[in-house]
Structure 1
Amino acid sequence: MSNQENSFVGFEYMEVPAKRSMESMYVDSYRSFGWVFEGPSAREESGDTVKLRFKRERRLRGQAELTRLQRQFESCAREIEALERSRTTAASIAAFTIGLTGTALLGGAVFAYLNGLLPMMVSLAVPGFLGWIIPYFSYQKLRQRREKQLSPLIEQKYDEIYTLCEQGCRLLTA
């Protein structure tokens, strides 16, 4: 055996929580910063998130710069996750509000019917039923509009991530 085969290599370890939909991006990107993917942590897998385990040599050339690039990557990844979540937030709030208003109007229609106020019952029931029908269509419309607004921002963040990964790869191969 040669002397290099017996030499000690120290590693540092890291666990990263990630959404399952972004797991591949995290695995591919962290490789650019010197990390080796060890696999998902089986005990931490639950629902939509998984913990990813990585390791890398403690003594890398340019480790400070790699760490800086890695922090920028993590920031961009969090921004992408936030933008993805915000696609449906406003649409959900609007749909719930319309549905709740429709429910209140139908409740008023029931009380009007019980008190014998038939014209008032009809005037409350029609918008109440519409308040149960319209949320689906308003949700779809608002979500599509929001996706159209966010798609360029998300693509811009992905481009930024690719640039950071390229810089990290150049540091590792230099």
Structure 2
Amino acid sequence: MAEVSKVGSEYVGYEYKRKEILKEHASLYLDSYPCFGWEEDPNAEIAQERTQPGGYVTLNFRRDRKICNKVELTRLQRNFDGCILEIDRLEKSKATLATIAAMVIGVAGTACMAGSVFAVTAEPPLITLCIILAIPGFAGWIAPWFVYRVLVRKRAAKIQPLIEDEMEELYEVCRKGKDLLI
């Protein structure tokens, strides 16, 4: 008669977490969430099937419900998520002011060009006014590209140290989480 082995057959209850994140952060989450006791759920959809429109991915995690230091790990995980949001906000802020400035210049150039068109179609045509308004009009159409690039570069130089500080904080939070698991 065959004996039934009970070794290794303990039931482990898991809690599950589904996270929709930007595709560019997927590796960071997959590498960092194990520091908070989470592991990728092997029963979830495979990676190719979980891509969402808009550059988002859905990651599925699980962790043991009886994990030690669960409250502190959850607090560190929230801190990690907050750091990621702050990094995203800083990245978006690189182009915000530059976009606004470029659009204002482009609209001003368009207004000058409209004035130039109205000047040339007036009765009698005002050619001198047309030329005077056309020059800033063309400049207002060409300059936004250069203004945008310069402003983004300047803002990126100011923002990059802040992003690096946030990344250091991320790594510190993960290290603290990993220390709690051991």
- TM-score, normalised to structure 2, is 0.90
Give the CA deviation at 1:131: 0.2
Q: Distance in 2 between matches of 1:9 and 1:106?
A: 71
Choose from 72, 78, 90 the match for 2:79. Answer: 72
| 1:3 shift after superposition | 3.3
CA contact (8 A) 1:41 1:52 kept: no
8 A contact 2:50–2:57 mirrored in 1:
no
Q: Aligned partners of 1:148, 1:98: CA distance in 2, in Å?
A: 23
Provide structure 1 residue ranges, at least 5 long, that are not aligned to the other structure.
Answer: none
Displacement of 1:151 after TM fit?
0.3
User: Do residues 23 (structure 1) and 26 (structure 2) align?
Assistant: yes
Structure 1 residue runs of 4 or more that deviate by more than 4 Å after TM superposition: none
TM-score by length of 1: 0.94
5+ unaligned residues in a row in structure 2: which ranges? none
Separation in structure 2 between the aligned mates of residue 4 and residue 124 of structure 1, nearest angstrom: 87
Contact 1:41/1:53 (CA < 8 Å) preserved in 2? no
1:85-143 deviation digits (Å, cap 9, x = unpaired): 11111111111111111111101100100010111111110000000110000000000
Instruction: Tell me, yes or no, if structure 1 residue 91 matches structure 2 residue 98.
Output: yes
Supply the distance in 2 between the matched residues of 1:56 and 1:87 (Cα, whole angstroms): 37
Q: Distance in 2 between matches of 1:93 and 1:23?
A: 30
In structure 2, what residue type is equivalent to 1:17? E
Secondary structure at the residue paired with 1:32? helix
The two structures, once aligned, show a CA RMSD in angstroms of 1.5
Q: Percent identity?
A: 42
Greater Cα radius of gyration, structure 1 or 2: 2
Q: Please say if residues 41 and 51 of structure 1, whose CA atoms lie closer than 8 Å, have aligned partners that are also in contact.
A: no
